[in-house]
Structure 1
Amino acid sequence: MTAYLPSLRGLAALRALARHGGQRAAAEALGITRSALSHRIADLETELGTALIAPRGRASALTEEGAALLAATGDALDRIEAAAAPLRRRRQEVRLSTVDTLASNWLLPRLPAFRRAHPEIAITILTTRRAVDLATEDIDCAIRHGRGGWPGLAADPLFRETLVPVAMPGAARGPAAGWPVIRARARFGDWERWWRATGQGGAPAEAGILVENRAQALEAARAGAGVALTDARYVEAALASGQLVALGPVVALEEAYHFLRAPNPRNPRHVEALRVWLLGQAGAAPAP
């Protein structure tokens, strides 16, 4: 024999009416109109073949059958809602993976503008140096650094990577060979790359500060600890305000930052909205 379950939407409407004591308040709690609330309860009454509410003056009250039905369901509706809520939120969410330096210095300062343009989309930023697997992990898209060529993924170049030496005003003087350099372990060879590209004499100082990543190197430079190499886009505001000064030319590298997405993301419309917005922020033309 096939089991019969009454309409969950009708039960939720009935419960809201019982909790809030009036159709207007119940409808507002559910985010629907009073007419929709009445229809859901009426459909449930038709399903069950009994009256669940009765008029009481200008309001409505549960009948004995309606009260008994809600008592029998107990907290089942609450548990169903609690289980469904994360799935519902996930439909509105885009999960983006990137590295900490780009997130802190380029992406996050711009996100309020995206939220104003797309208030219906929730953005979750996950920072890691690991190349996440968009095909198997619960991540919709990523911003990765490299020269392209990610099999199975759609990629849009955002901007070329650059290197520029920056420091607090007065933190470094004289020839580059005498600068107190800050090296990032994750990008240890950057100083040599910039040195060769700009034709500096001598070699960068061996003594200095060694930190884990470029985000920490930039923080150390802001604190006056020496000269850090970073992407010019990360320090546009700090250079404009005078918080930092550029001590040499900007060198463009072959690598670039790309926006990657799986062929079939969970939220394709939301991912596409983020893609087009990011390309606009990066000054790149959206590709089809």
Structure 2
Amino acid sequence: MAVYSMTGYATAQYNGPADETGREAMPVLGMEIRSVNSRFLDLAFKMSDELRGTEPALRELLGARLKRGKVEVRAWIEGRTESGLRTPSPAELQRLVGLQDSIVAWHPKATLLSVAELIQLTSRQQALPSGLHDHLLTLAQTVLDSFVGAREREGKRLADMLLDRLKQLRQLAREAQPLIPELVAQQRQRFIDRWNEALGAGNAAGTPNLSTDAVQERALAEATAFAIRIDVAEELTRLDSHLVEIERLIKKGGDVGKRLDFLIQELHREANTLGSKSSSLELTRISVDMKVLIEQMREQVQNLE
């Protein structure tokens, strides 16, 4: 199953078939769907009054295919203004003017038609076909298929980016693992050297000497305490577990955005702990690099459905 982005756009038109006279039996319909990020599915419709009756069916159609995102649907009839009025054709105007001339010839005191009356009459003359809403739903299905396809392509790009960041995080984790034993060994040797220096200074001042075994035992105890304090094995294990789960969800697909967002927060927590336990510049660098990659992942995961 694919991973879908919450960002997408699609538009299409429906050109109605012509009748016997060559005129369009069905007006040209247009629709566009666009979306941006949102925690939930938020549908907004911008349609002329003639098309409002289709909104419940459109809402059901989109709700069955989309899970999250702020989605705006705009539908219109070509040649009509936002108020639902269309532009009258020259033939219609000529016919009305001819009727007006006939009436004036019979009744000279009759009032001539105003612009508003002409617009009103031409709008009434071409009532909307009864199958308009069915054609609008058919158009909506076409636009929705294109829209979902656009979100799928964007989702694939985001998924590829996330998998690349997972690969880099695993490499940083592998670099961090051998650093801990090295740091413990260095700390143990550093303690022994300082202790021997202190013993040498004590002997010169006449202070009783301690046995080598006692020094080694104390050094071991200090090194053990240091190792416990800087041990990040548990953090690295949890981090690897989160990486495995994130990769599984991406490859599984579907509406995984919320679960991925939670796992990214957990990754950030482990990287922070790794940095707080750091006792070397190299380990600090690894922690910082991890947090940069995790932040990049967090920004992109918020775009996923």
So what's the TM-score if we normalise by structure 1?
0.29
Q: Could you say which structure has the greater relative contact order, defined with CA pairs below 8 angstroms and 6 or more residues apart? A: 2
Structure with a larger share of its residues in helix: 2
Structure with a larger share of its residues in strand: 1
So what's the TM-score if we normalise by structure 2?
0.27
